[in-house]
Amino acid sequence: MNQCKQCGATLPEDSNICLQCGTKNPAPKSDSDDLPQPELDFLKPALAGGALLGVLSAIPYVRAVNVVCCAWVLAGGALASFLLNKQRPGGLKYGDGAIVGVFAGLMGAIIGGIVSIPVRLLENTAARFALVEQQMSSLPPNFPPFLKDMILDAARPGINFTLLLVGLVFGLVLNSIFATAGGALMVAILNRKKTD
């Protein structure tokens, strides 16, 4: 029960203006304002978002969706942020979504690198290499030789650890950036739903 600070009269519930003297009083404090917010566990949501973006970004044909603004990466960051929101419904800040997005992007790059090893072993066959080699022979003579060699190395059967390492570094950087955006966008969507 709240009382007027001027005349001491009892204020009606959810009111901050005294009906006796008209004085404006501070709004009553609710018990939920004093409760500490629960600590957020970023690891599980980031692993789930990273697994989504890593696996889907490594599967042939499915990974083509990343051409549209890195859609799988954005989705991985958004999923991580959505799962983080389950721990503190409606209480996420943009920074929380960005942090879980960064972690999801980093984990997604690592998971994607691991998943891409067997995918490349299945994808880079001798028949495919022969086809790529045939197409390279039909290129104009002024085509840069280093680029031709790089394409042939990428199509060669087996695993090229240099390309794998370069892909991992690029994945760590790009996935972190786009998954951060996906995490922050999901917080904006969730906060908008909260105000509606």
Q: pLDDT at residue 129 above 90?
A: yes
The predicted-structure confidence for 16-52, as pLDDT tens digits, reads as follows 788 788 888 776 565 555 567 778 999 999 999 999 9
Measured at the CA of 54, the angle between CA 53 and CA 58, to 5 degrees, comes to: 110
The pLDDT of residue 54 is 95
pLDDT mean over 139-149: 91
pTM: 0.74
Interior angle at CA 50, CA 46 and CA 56, nearest 5: 155
- The pLDDT value given to residue 85: 93
- Cβ neighbors of 65 (< 8 A, separation 6 or more) are 56, 71, 72
Rounded to whole angstroms, the Cα distance separating 75 from 130 reads 36
Owner of token pair 């989504």: 52
Structure tokens given for 163: 């390309």
Interatomic CA distance for residues 95 and 194, integer angstroms: 18
Confidence grade of residue 72 (pLDDT, cut at 50, 70, 90): very high
What region, left, alpha or beta, does residue 59 occupy, with left being phi > 0 and alpha being psi -120 to 50 degrees? beta
Q: What is the pLDDT of residue 41?
A: 93
pLDDT at 34 (0 to 100): 55
**Cβ atoms of residues 171 and 53 within 8 Å:** no
- What pLDDT score was predicted for residue 6? 81
- 128: helix, strand or coil: helix
Stretch 170-184: mean pLDDT, rounded?
96
Q: What is the pLDDT of residue 19?
A: 79
Q: What is the pLDDT of residues 47-67, one digit of tens each?
A: 999 999 999 999 999 999 999
Please give the structure tokens belonging to residue 81.
């942020």
- Smallest Cα–Cα separation from 108: which of 78, 85, 82, 69? 78
Inter-residue contact 60 to 119 (CB < 8 Å): yes
The torsion angles phi and psi of 149, rounded to 5 degrees, stand at -65, -40
CB-based contact 104:45 (threshold 8 Å)? yes
The band of 194, judged by pLDDT with boundaries at 50, 70 and 90, is low
Provide the pLDDT for residue 45.
96
Q: What amino acid is encoded at 17 in this protein?
A: I
Alpha carbon of residue 98 to chain centroid: 8
